[in-house]
Amino acid sequence: MRQRISQGLIGLCGLLVSAQLMAEPGFARQYKSQFGYMPACNACHVDGGGSPLNAYGKAFEQAGQNAAAFALIAAKDSDADGFSNADEGAAKSHPGDAASTPAKPGNWLNVENLIPKPIQAAFAGVKTYKPLDALFTDNDIERAAGMGVSLSKTDETVIYLPVVEGKPVGVAVILPAVVADKNVFVLVTTTRKLAVDQVLPLQADDLDFGDVDRFKGQFAPKVEAQAGADNAADALAYAVKKAGAMIYVRLKR
C-alpha cells in the first residue's frame, strides 16, 4: 500500500508540474469568483493559511464568510490605506495590507506568497511547491470512514507537495481542529510514503498537546486516535490521523 502511495505521489507531481494547477480552497474560490483571480492565503491571514486573520480576514469572517460577505464589506477600508476593499480587489492590491494599494499592489500575488509560511518553514530550502485541491467526493468520504475518520464536503483543504529536482520530497497539510472549544490549526507534514515527519499546532501556545514528536515515523492514516477528544493531546492525535486520511484518499483517488 505504501509503495503504491509513493509511486502515486511521483505521478501526481508530474501532472501538477505539467498542468500548473493552483489550489483553490473554498474561501479563495469565492474571492476568485468575485474578483476574477486567485488570491494568496495572506489576503485574509497575516502569514498565510493557518496564521491569525488580518483586518480584512476578520471583516470577511464577521460578515459571514460567504459570497454575500464581499458586498457587505465592499465599502470598508479594512487596512486603512484610503481605498475600499472592493477597489483593492478589483485592482489586485492587497485589501488587508496598507502597504499595498491599487497604484502599488506589491508582490503579494507572487507564487511564494501562495504557500503558507509554516509550510515553507517546515521544508526549509525548498523553492518549488505544487498545491493540490482536496475537495472530497462521496467515495473519498466513505473510504475515510473506513479508516476511522469522519470527513464531509465542508472539509475541503489544500495539500502541498514540496518538489526538488522535479520530484516530491514530502506532503504537507494545514487543517483546523477544535480543542477545549478553541479553534486552532495543525500543520502535519509527512514523507513521500506518508510517514509523519512534523506536527505543529498553530495559534495554540496556551494548550498542552504533550510530546508532538510522538507521531514521528507513524503511517499518518493509521495513527491511533478517535474523534471527540476532550483534551488537547488526544484532539491533536485525531487531527494527525485526519490529515493522513485526507492526504491518502486524495492521492489514492
| CB-neighbour burial class of residue 87 (10 A; exposed 0-12, middle 13-18, buried 19+) | middle
Beta bridge partners of 130: 161
Q: Are 50 and 202 within 8 A, CB to CB?
A: yes
The low-confidence residues of the chain, meaning pLDDT below 70, are 1-25, 48-50, 111
Compute φ and ψ for 67, nearest 5 degrees. -60, -35
Amino acid identity of 33?
S
Q: Which three cell numbers stand for residue 1?
A: 500500500
Give domain limits for the chain.
2-23+116-251, 41-109
- Computed over its alpha carbons, how large is the radius of gyration of the chain? 18
Residue indicated by cell numbers 494568496 = 40
Q: Are 241 and 225 within 8 A, CB to CB?
A: yes
Q: Are 119 and 130 within 8 A, CB to CB?
A: no
pLDDT of residue 180: 75
- Cβ-based neighbours of 144, under 8 Å, separated by 6 or more: 136, 150, 151, 245, 246, 249
The pTM for the full model equals 0.74
Amino acid identity of 204?
A
Q: Are 220 and 189 within 8 A, CB to CB?
A: no
